[in-house]
Structures are given as structure tokens and as C-alpha cells.
Amino acid sequence: MAGAIIENMSTKKLVIVGVILLLFQVFSFLVGGLIAPSPTTAIHYLAMKCVDARKVQQSKWFMPWGPNQCNKIRDFDEAMVRMIEANDIVFAVHIPLPNKEMSPWFQFMLVIMQFDIAFKVVNQIEDGAEVTIDVGLAYRDDSVSEWTEMAHSIEKRKLSCNFTTSKTYENEGRYYECDLLPFMELGSVAHKYYLLNIRLPVSERKRVNVGIGEIKDIRLVGIHQNGGFTKVWFAMKTFLTPSILIIMVWYWRRITLMTRPPVLLEKVIFALGISMTFINIPVEWFSVGFNWTWMLLFGDIRQGIFYAMLLSFWIIFCGEHLMDQTERNRFAVYWKQVGPIVFGSFCLFIFDMCERGVQLKNPFYSIWASDVGTELAMAFIIVAGICACLYFLFLCFMVFQVFRNISGKRTSLPAMSKARRLHYEGLIFRFKFLMLVTLACAAMTVIFFIISQVNEGHWHWGDYTLQVNSAFFTGIYGMWNLYVFAIMFLYAPSHKRYGDEQSNGDLGVNSGEDIQLTTTITHLDGPTEIYKMTGKEAQE
Amino acid sequence: MTSEYLLRTLLMLILALFSANASNWLYLAKLSSVGSISEEETCEKLKGLIQRQVQICKRNVEVMDAVRRGAQLAIDECQFQFRNRRWNCSTLETLPVFGKVVTQGTREAAFVYAISSASVAFAVTRACSSGELEKCGCDRNVYGVSPEGFQWSGCSDNIAYGVAFSQSFVDVRERSKGLSSSRALMNLHNNEAGRKAILNNMRVECKCHGVSGSCEVKTCWKAMPPFRKVGNVIKEKFDGATEVEQRRIGTTKVLVPKNSQFKPHTDEDLVYLDPSPDFCDHDPKNGVLGTAGRHCNKTSKAIDGCELMCCGRGFHTEEVEVVDRCSCKFHWCCYVKCKQCRKMVEMHTCR
């Protein structure tokens, strides 16, 4: 891959390209920060306690409010007085709240569950208590028709609650502090209204729901993506897809125009472009019309492929710029470095399939709910983490090697022939440029990630509100797109004659010896620009 | 008797009436006979509301059940927090609900105002979350740029609505009187301090839901503290309440600590104007029940100890057989099976 555009570009042009890219970058931040609302919304729901007065109720679904609402009780003291049993109580939650409608633009919905459990000296939560929930989910698309069942399941969740004050009679009535429990995940929000009916069946014989303390309330938190954010996001994807696609076509045409077959690095860059396009293609538009629950999983897979590709690209880019006389240019050479990436991604893929994959069938499933599942999930994540560490060690080592070789070459540069020197200078420049840009992008990602984590979500500037989280998502997404775009543009083979201005003078001096350039990938592929040029020079 | 004297007494009486019923809406808690408040006409029949509150009631009929629950919550919490004190927040079946103690500018009044404004905010927010109210959150304080509201940017938290409603309903009494009297300033301050006790103790909870559940995407929200926690916070503020007096600074009147050595109170602190009575003796005129007949703790040196509780009058001790529940089996709701255990307990009662 000799004679990339970046080497042959004048500094002025490079600056212009840089400024244009920077403008797009700022634009992508502003789109998220000023137009889009915050990425997600969390809505609190307090479950209404319905009484399953057998045979009285017509439908098997219990509505917490509105017409046909269930027979409600305010609290469990009332149930005690009315001799209602625990098995007759149904916790009902209607999503969303009154006068609202869910919409496909929400993309996904996940629900967190939390128990309010009051402390009582004689009725405490036992160690390792587990609650068994019998839960049904139904939907309808208008406010009069019957509910249609969507899913029904009996789930177990571990209660991990602690009581922060001393367990004495004075402190009765205070609540335990319980961890949030994952409850439900829907990969698409195709319907307008959802209804959850939750029961906590008690069976002393089977030790089901015994020793879980005195439950006062069940609270749910529903999280979904904001419609406005989805629209901005889709618009961005729709705009970015053709941009990356066009540059990809242009890039590949450049490569095929050359007389030599493409080298490994060129292929990897092209693959990076493909994986970026794969993320960009706005197939999510379909989720607005169709009920595709697998979209969430599909999105994860697409992101995973891109990350894996990006990481592989960095390794191969470093390897191809090692300048250490070794023959590379084959993918097989890099199995040691790419192996961990593939294996790590595979682990995460399996983990994701176990969680979100199973959720396609049963939205209430959570891998973290069971002991075996938790161990398995942890195992996958730890293995993936080890792979990531391994990868970064390799990467750091390779970067270190490149820098060592660079400084080695630096000292011998002046003694080299012109073409050879230019070749090495080109290599060094290319490497350093990408190194710098990559570091900048990574640093930006990390910084904005931290800001979005620490910050409360939006900043005010007079009348303007900047949605930091949305700006983070659109900005970072735009940034990696620009990164891929820039790489494909700048690292495409140049058709320009090598160094027209610089090498006009004393050409004859150094002719002839550059044929010895065996260090780089280029020599295999027959004469590229340098060779043609130097060859010509030699003839002159 | 001159006419001037008569006029003055009349004026005093009117003033007393005016300032007396400021927290009378708490009487809603006592109106169990009314059933649910679902029609505008019911608003007029509710005892204890002032005219402006009746108007709010008519405009927000659906919220009134929550307000009533809030009133009950406030009374329960007050009685829990003060169970071991001489003044135990006992209510009367007449107006004013807590007797005249609360109509003076005492610490106890400060507590009652704070806990009741907090309880309204709390109960309304809870009603919002359970879907009982139709105009929570989204109608107010939508911070989206598009008129599509909920679909575009979701809704603001229900707590914003709860607090706003508490502000309009509970504070209206003081606001309608104008911000001139020191009692009005004190009440407004304590109302706000009560709501701050909720707002400043909101728990931030987060959920990660990025790729494979990573924290790449994280959503955080604020969850309301349990009301017992709110009660505890306000009780702490009660213990450290600041005695204040009214001063004029420029054209506005403000409350400043009586003792200039004390540091000025913050928004969250309770303030009071008048020292409390000792609550020792039965005084029906002022609605003080006195501590005669109250149980006390013989070993304690604190306010629940017999020494202090009985105001030095001494106490009876008798041995009583208490039937207690023991070795119980519980379900999470509504089912308890216990054995009855009898034991002898020494009971101390103030003379």
C-alpha cells in the first residue's frame, strides 16, 4: 500500500480535509445535543393491588384504572380485614400511564422491578430469599378491545435486600433497601397499550414465596428510547449510509484500477468500511412498521462485528507498518492477535444470545436470575475481559515495536537513497497520523463517556438546553463514521506521481538501489507508484 | 364596655379564626364518611378547606383522594415520630385537628406544616405513578422541543407534579393572606422545608442496558424515599429547629434567627416563632391533653422516661398480663398464624 493519498497530499489540502471533517464532527454533536431529546426515558409505575374475586371478574386480565377496572384494595391491612389471601392478589400495571400511548418509535422497553418490603422483627426476610412471580403480559391497540396475551411465565428472582439500621422494634415499618431486579425486556414496542399482571403465589408446602418479609408495594420502572431520539438517530443513519457507501465504492474502484492485487491492509480497510455500513444501514426503519423483536439483538450483533473489525484493523495496521524485514501481508500471520478478538466477541455473542436471544421467546427471562446463569454469564464476561486485556497487551507491544523501529530507521534515514527514504518517511507519516487520529478518537470517546456518566444529562445555556447524553451518542457515532470515512479516503492508493515537487531535482543520484526494498508489503504486488517512478528515474 | 373594646375583641377573634384554620385541611383525613371525593359538589361539603382550596378541589377533583390519603399519612407519621414525647400528636375529632398547639407558632406547628406539605406531595406523586391521575407529569414541565410531548421526549418526573400540587394546595392559605405576617412566612418556610425533605432525599437509581447489558447506555432516574424516611428527616429538623423573628430588610420582611449567634437557617431547616408549652397538664382550652395516663419507660432518662414524661408527678406501676403473638408464621400478605404467649409486664403510667 505504497503511495497513499495522505502522503501525496499537500499540507494545505490535508488541513482543509481535516477542517471539513471537524465541522461534520461538531455538527453531529450538535444534532444530538440540540435537536434530540435525551436518549431514554424512565417512567415510574406503582402496581395497583387487585383482588381476584373468583368468578366475579369477566376477563382474566386485571386493569388498574379506567373503565372495567379491577376490585382494588389500598393496602394489605385492608386485605387482612377483608380476609383476602395472598394468592388472590394480583398486582396490575398498565403501560403507559393514562392518556398516553406507546409507539414503535420507542424501539425497546425494559422494565425493572423493585419491592417495598417493610421491616418487621418477627417477619424478616430470610437469607437467600427468592421470590417467585407468576407474570402475564398482554397488549391491545385500542382502549376498548380485549387484551391479547403476549407472554406468560413463572420466574424466580433473588431478593438481595439489606436493612441499614438496627433490627429493633423501634425501626419496624422502615423499608429494606433492595437491589433492582431485572424484570422484562421487549425488543420492539409494536403495540399501544400493555398490561402486566403479577402474582406472588404462596405455597408453604413447596416453600414458594415464604420468608420474603412483608411486601408493601411493587414498583416498576419502564425504560424506553425516546421517540425524538430515535428519529434523529434514524435520520443520522440514513444520511451516513450513502456517504460511507460512496466512499467505499470509490475506494474499491481505486484499488481495482491498480495493476497489482489489493494488499491485506487495503482489504482490511475495505472490510472496516463494510462493517461500518452494516451498522449504518437503517434497517430499523422497518421496526416502525413491523413487529421485529429481534432488532435489539441484531443491533448488538452489528455493533459487535464493527468493534471486532476495528480492533483487528488496528492490529493489522500496526503489523503492516512494523518495518522489520519480515514478510506479512497474510491474515494468517495475525492469528495470535486477532484470535483473542474473535474469541472474546464470540463469548459476548454467546452471552448475548443467552440473554437477549432467550428474551425473544420469554421477555421475562434473565440470565442473572439463577445461580448457574449468573456463573455462566460471569464466566463469559470474564473470558471476554481476559481476551480484551490480551489484545491490548499485543496492541501496545506492537505499537511499541513500531516506534522502536521508527527511531531506528530515523537514524539511518539520511544515509538512504531518496526513494527509499521517501518510502520510509511515508510509512512513518502514515503510521503516526493514524496513531494520532485513533488516539484522539479513543480519548474523545472515553472523555465523553465519562462526562455522560457523571453528568445529570443536560446542560443549560440560557434558552438552550444541551442534551449531553444524546450529544454523546450522536457525536461518538458520527466520529467513528468520520474516522472510517477518513481512513478510506486518506489511505486509498494515490494515482499521483510520487512526490512531484520534492524529487524534481537530483533524481539521478539515488537511482537503482531502491529495488532492494523488500521490507514492505508493496514489493510483492509488482510495481506500484514508487517502483514505476524510481524505475523511470533509473532509466533516465 | 366601650364599643372600642368590643371592636377589638371582634378583630382579635377574626384574626384568631383566620390563623387557626391554616392546616385545617388535614381534617380531610377524618372524613371517612365521605367515601371517595369524585364530584365537584363534594368539595363544598368538605370541612376545613378555605375558599381557595375549594376552588382547587373543584378543578382537581381526581387529586383530592390522594390529598386525603396524604392527610392521613401526615397524621400517622406525626404520631409515629412523636409517640415517645409529651406531645404525641394526638388528634381531636373537632377542628383544629391537633388542638390549638398547632395554631401558635411553635416547633410542633412547624413539624405539622412540614410533614403535611410533604405528605401531599408524596401521596400525589404516588397516585400519579399508579395511574390514578390523568394530568400528571406530561402536561407540566415537559422539556421537549416538540409539541408531540410524550412520544418525542417522554415526560418529566411525577414528583414535579406532586410538589407543584402541594405548593398550590397547601400554600394557598398563606399566600392568599399576603406575605406580611410572620406566621405566614413561618408556615410557608416550613411547608417548603417539608417538600425539600423529599426532594433532597430522592434516591438516584440507574440501569445499564447497552450492548450485552454494558453501561454504554445507562438510564438513571430518581426514586422517592419511603415516607418513614421523610418523617425521620423532618423529625431531625424538628430537633434542630431555629427560633426566628421577623425583620424588615429593605422592603421585604424576612425571618432571621432570634439569637444572632446562631447560623442562619437553610431552606431545609424548620423555623418557629414561639416557645412551646410544656404539655404537662391537661388544658382543654388549648387542646393540650396532658401526660396523665400516658405510659412511660422507667429505665429511660430521655423524654420517654417516667421522670420527664410525667413532669415529676410520679407514676403508677402495675403488673399486667399481656397476650402476645409469638412463633408466628407469615405470608407476605394478609396471613399470620401465631401462638398466643402470655407474659407479665410491668406497666408504668403517669399520674
The CATH number for B334's domain is: 3.30.2460.20
In chain A, the percentage of residues whose pLDDT exceeds 70 is 88
Residue A508 — very low, low, confident or very high, per pLDDT cuts 50/70/90?
Answer: very low
- Residues B282-328: pLDDT tens digits? 877 777 778 888 888 888 888 888 888 888 888 888 888 888 778 88
Q: Smallest Cα–Cα separation from A5: which of A495, A466, A504, A539?
A: A495
Q: How far is CA A216 from the centre of its chain?
A: 37
Q: Smallest Cα–Cα separation from A215: which of A250, A175, A187, A243?
A: A175
Inter-chain CB proximity B332 and A213 less than 8 Å: yes
Q: Answer whether residue A521 shows pLDDT above 60.
A: no
Q: Answer whether residue A198 shows pLDDT above 90.
A: yes
Residue A465 at interface with chain B, using a CB cutoff of 8 Å:
yes
The predicted pLDDT at position A452 comes to 73
Q: Answer whether residue B258 shows pLDDT above 50.
A: yes
The predicted pLDDT at position B93 comes to 65
Q: Give the N- to C-terminal CA distance of chain B in Å, as an integer.
A: 43
Q: What angle do CA A325, A330, A331 make, to 5 degrees?
A: 130
Q: Answer whether residue A478 shows pLDDT above 90.
A: yes
Inter-chain CB proximity A97 and B325 less than 8 Å: no
- Residues A328-376: pLDDT tens digits? 677 788 888 888 899 999 988 998 888 888 989 999 998 888 888 889 8
Residue B4 — very low, low, confident or very high, per pLDDT cuts 50/70/90?
Answer: low
Q: Answer whether residue A17 shows pLDDT above 60.
A: yes
Q: Is B100 among the domain residues?
A: yes
Write B217-221 long-range contacts (CB < 8 A, 24+).
Answer: B217/A39, B217/A40, B217/A473, B218/A453, B219/A39, B219/A40, B219/A41, B219/A42, B219/A223, B220/A42, B220/A457, B221/A42, B221/A44, B221/A221, B221/B157
Residue B148 — very low, low, confident or very high, per pLDDT cuts 50/70/90?
Answer: low
Q: What angle do CA A74, A75, A79 make, to 5 degrees?
A: 100
- Residues A402-455: pLDDT tens digits? 888 888 888 888 887 888 888 888 888 888 888 888 888 888 888 887 877 776
| Per-residue H/E/C for A208-258 | ECCCECEEEEEEEEEEEECHHHHHHHHHHHHHHHHHHHHHHHHHHHHHHHC
Cis upstream peptide for B96 (omega within 30°): yes
Residue A424 at interface with chain B, using a CB cutoff of 8 Å:
no
- Residues B51-106: pLDDT tens digits? 888 888 888 888 888 888 898 899 899 999 998 888 888 876 665 667 777 778 88
- Shared domain for B313 and B271, answered yes or no, is no
- Shared domain for B157 and B87, answered yes or no, is yes
The one-letter code for the residue type at A474 is: T
Domain A5-39+228-539, second-level architecture: Up-down Bundle (1.20)
- Residue B20 structural domain: 3-201+227-241+267-278
CB contact at 8 A, A241 and A285: no
- Shared domain for B71 and B102, answered yes or no, is yes
Q: Answer whether residue A535 shows pLDDT above 50.
A: no
Which position has the higher pLDDT, A293 or A514? A293
Inter-chain CB proximity A43 and B335 less than 8 Å: no
As a whole number of angstroms, the distance between CA A516 and CA A530 comes to: 12
The predicted pLDDT at position B150 comes to 81
Domain boundaries, chain A: 5-39+228-539, 41-225
Q: Is B254 among the domain residues?
A: no
Q: Answer whether residue B125 shows pLDDT above 90.
A: yes
- Shared domain for B55 and B178, answered yes or no, is yes
- Residues A163-174: pLDDT tens digits? 988 888 888 888
Cis upstream peptide for A96 (omega within 30°): yes
Cβ-nearest to B143 among A35, A83, A465: A465
Residue B123 — very low, low, confident or very high, per pLDDT cuts 50/70/90?
Answer: very high
Number of domains chain B contains:
2
Q: Answer whether residue A210 shows pLDDT above 60.
A: yes
Residue A416 at interface with chain B, using a CB cutoff of 8 Å:
no
Ranges A16-20, A219-223, A531-535, B178-182: which has the least confidence: A531-535
Q: Is A213 left (phi over 0), alpha (psi -120 to 50) or beta?
A: left
- Shared domain for B177 and B272, answered yes or no, is yes
The one-letter code for the residue type at A12 is: K
**What is the DSSP pairing of strand A89-95 with strand A109-118?**
unpaired
Q: Answer whether residue A236 shows pLDDT above 80.
A: yes
Question: What does the mean pLDDT of chain B come to?
Answer: 80
- Residues A32-89: pLDDT tens digits? 888 888 889 999 999 999 988 765 555 689 999 888 888 888 888 888 888 888 888 9
> Which residues, in sequence order, are CB contacts of B53 under 8 Å at separation 6+?
B25, B169, B172, B173
CATH topology of domain A41-225: Jelly Rolls (2.60.120)
| Per-residue H/E/C for A38-57 | CCEEEEEEECEEEECCCCCC
The secondary structure of B284-303 as a DSSP string is GGGTB--STT-B-BSS--ST
- Shared domain for B237 and B299, answered yes or no, is no
Burial (CB < 10 A; 0-12, 13-18, 19+), residue A23, is: exposed
- Copy the grid coordinates of residue A341: 478478538
Instruction: Name the packing angle between helices B107-129 and B158-170 (round to 10°).
Output: 140
The residue among B78, B208, B212, B218 with the most chain A CBs within 10 A of its CB, best to mutate, is B212
Q: Is B218 among the domain residues?
A: no
Cβ-nearest to A180 among B69, B205, B229: B205
The predicted pLDDT at position A501 comes to 39
The predicted pLDDT at position A55 comes to 57
Residue A212 at interface with chain B, using a CB cutoff of 8 Å:
yes
The predicted pLDDT at position A456 comes to 64
Residue B37 — very low, low, confident or very high, per pLDDT cuts 50/70/90?
Answer: low
- Shared domain for B180 and B299, answered yes or no, is no
Q: Answer whether residue B14 shows pLDDT above 80.
A: no
As a whole number of angstroms, the distance between CA B160 and CA B166 comes to: 10
The predicted pLDDT at position A524 comes to 37
Q: Is B339 among the domain residues?
A: yes
The ipTM is: 0.84
Q: Is B44 among the domain residues?
A: yes
Q: Is B310 among the domain residues?
A: yes
